[in-house]
Amino acid sequence: MQRIVLIGYGNVGIHLYKAFKNSAFAKIIQVYNHRAESLQELAEEMDTTTSLAELKAADIYIVSIPDSVTEQTVNKLAGYHSLVVHTAGSIPLLHSNTGNGVFYPLQTFSKNTPLDFSKVPLCIEADSAENLELLRKLAESITSKVYEVSTEQRKSLHLSAVFACNFTNHLYSLAEAICDKNKLPFEILHPLIQETARKIEFDSPKNSQTGPAIRNDAKTIAFHLKQLDSPELKEIYTLLTKSIQDRNGY
Amino acid sequence: MQRIVLIGYGNVGIHLYKAFKNSAFAKIIQVYNHRAESLQELAEEMDTTTSLAELKAADIYIVSIPDSVTEQTVNKLAGYHSLVVHTAGSIPLLHSNTGNGVFYPLQTFSKNTPLDFSKVPLCIEADSAENLELLRKLAESITSKVYEVSTEQRKSLHLSAVFACNFTNHLYSLAEAICDKNKLPFEILHPLIQETARKIEFDSPKNSQTGPAIRNDAKTIAFHLKQLDSPELKEIYTLLTKSIQDRNGY
C-alpha cells in the first residue's frame, strides 16, 4: 500500500479522503489542515495535524489547498523525497526538489453533496515517466476516468469549462429570471435542462443544436427580441444567435 | 375511458402514443399521419389513417403536427363537437367551433431515444373550466408534472427555454471546439456539465454560480481572454462575464 499524506481538508480534500477509503492501492495515513475546526470530526478516525512541521513520512503528498498558497507549500515539502502533487486546475506542474505531479479532479465539489467519485475525471501530469505511472495507478484506484493532460492542455480545459459550466449556469440564472418575471416556476424547465446535458453523451452538441437560431427562424427571433425588455438580455440573445448561425454556415 | 384520436405521429406523437398505453384514464383509438410510411409498423396494433376525412368519433383529439399546419387542421376538426388540443409551445390557445385546449409537453424529443414520460412537464390550457379539468385528468394519467400555463406565460417559457437549452447547448459546442483545438477529448467535461445541470434541483443557479467572473478574478479573466484567439469567443466571454458581474452587484 502506498502511504498518502493529504494536505488540505476543504471541498476537494474531503471528497478525496472518502474516495481513498475504497482504494486498494493507497491509503491516507495523515491529514493536515490549516484550521483545526475542520479536522475535529476527522480526528476520531485519523491522524490529523495543523502543523506542516509534524507531517509523517509518506510515499505521496497530495496538496489540496487554495491556489494562492499551493506553490509555497509544495516548496516546503521538498525535504520529504517523495512524490508531491497538487490538485489545482490552473497551476502548472511545479518543480521542487521532490518528485512533482498534478492530480486534478475536474468536477464541482460541495462539502455536503454526496458524489460518486468513481465517475470523476482525474487529470494527471508528472515530471517523469515513473511518477506518471505511479499517479496513473493512484488515480485508477479511485476512478474509472483517468486522463494524462499537460499543463498547456489543462489551461485550455479550464477555459472550456468556463464556457460549458460557469456560463451555462449563468444562462440557467437568466432563464430563471425570465420565469420569475412571468410567474412561472423555474422547475418546469428542469427536465429540459437536464435532458440537454444528458444528450451530449449520445451525440456532439453541434449535431443536436435546436431552436430558432439553427432553424434560421427570423420571425421567432424577432418576436423573442421584442419580448426581451432588458438591453443586456437582448445583447446576449443577439450575440449567441449570431454565433450559432455563423458556425452553421448561414 | 376517454377515447383519443392522435393526429400526427412525429417525435412528440410517438412519445405520447407510448405514454397513453399506460394511462388508466384515456386510450388512443386511432392515429392519423400525413405520411403513410410512418404508420406502417403501428398499423399492426392500431387503427391508422392518412385521411382527415376518415377520423373516428372520439372525446379528445390531440393535434401534434408542424406549427405551420396546426391552426388549419384544428379548424378542420370543428365538426366533431369534442375537445381539440394542440401540443405546440408557440401557438396560442385557438378558438374553433369545438372545445379547445393546449397540451404542451416541455421536453426535447427524439424518435429513437427512450424517455420516461412520467417526468415530462405538461403545460395545459383550455377554453373552459370544464375542459381544463378534463385536460388535467388526461395529463395526470401520464405524468406527475402538470402545470396550468396561459398563452402569455407559454410564450415566456419558450423564450426562457432558448436561454436555458438552445444557448446552453451552443456553449457546449464552443467548449467542444476549444477541446478539439487542444487535442482534449470533450468527454472529460461531460461529468462537470451534467453535475452543473443536476445542481439546479438543489439550489437556484444564481446561488451556485462559480468561476472567475463571480470571484471577480481579473487575473484569470485577462489570461482567458488572451488564450482566446477568435474575436467571436472573446466577445461572448466578455459579455457573459459582464452579465454575471452586473447581476451580482460588481
Distance of CA B131 to CAs A107, B60, B102, Å? Answer: 48, 10, 10
Please state, in angstroms and rounded to a whole number, the distance separating the CA atoms of residues A196 and A207: 12
Q: What ipTM does this complex have?
A: 0.90
Instruction: State the pLDDT at residue B242.
Output: 98
Of A147, A197, A244, the CB nearest to B170: A244
Question: Which three three-digit cell numbers place residue A36?
Answer: 483545526
Cβ neighbours of A235 in B, within 8 Å: 239
pLDDT of residue A174: 98
Nearest CA in chain A to B164: A172
**Could you give the CA distance from residue A97 to residue A117 in angstroms, rounded to a whole number?**
31
Positions in chain A short of pLDDT 50:
none
3-class secondary structure per residue, chain A: CEEEEEECCCHHHHHHHHHHCCCCCEEEEEEECCCCHHHCCHHHCCCEECCHHHCCCCCEEEECCCHHHHHHHHHHHHHHCCEEEECCCCCCCCCCCCEEEEEEECCCCCCCCCCCHHHCCEEEEECCHHHHHHHHHHHHCCCCCEEECCHHHHHHHHHHHHHHHHHHHHHHHHHHHHHHHCCCCHHHHHHHHHHHHHHCCCCCCCCCCCCHHHHCCHHHHHHHHHHCCCHHHHHHHHHHHHHHHHCCCC
State whether A235 and B239 contact (CB < 8 Å): yes
Q: Please tell me the predicted confidence (pLDDT) of residue B115.
A: 85
Q: Which residues of B touch A246 (CB under 8 A)?
A: 232
Q: Give the Å distances, CA to CA, from A218 to A211, A238, A246.
A: 11, 12, 15
Name the minimum distance, in Å, from the CA of B157 to any CA of chain A. Answer: 7
What is the per-residue pLDDT for A108?
85
Distance from CA of B92 to the nearest CA of A (A): 14
Which pLDDT does position A13 carry in this prediction? 96
The pLDDT of residue B156 is 95
Residue A81: predicted pLDDT = 78
Could you tell me which residues come within 8 angstroms of residue A242 by beta carbon, excluding any fewer than 6 positions away? none
> Are A162 and B212 inside 8 Å of each other by CB?
yes
Cell numbers 515517466 correspond to A129
| CA-based nearest distance A173→chain B, Å | 5
Chain A residues with CB inside 8 Å of B113's CB? 199, 202
Tell me if A243 and B224 make a contact (CB, 8 A cut-off): no
pLDDT means per 10 residues, chain B with 250 residues, are 97 95 97 96 97 95 94 88 92 92 91 86 97 98 97 95 97 97 96 95 92 92 95 98 93
Q: What is the phi/psi pair of residue B148, to 5°?
A: -85, 120
Residues in chain A closer than 8 A to B244 (CB atoms): 166, 170
pLDDT of residue A107: 92
Per-residue pLDDT, A90:
86
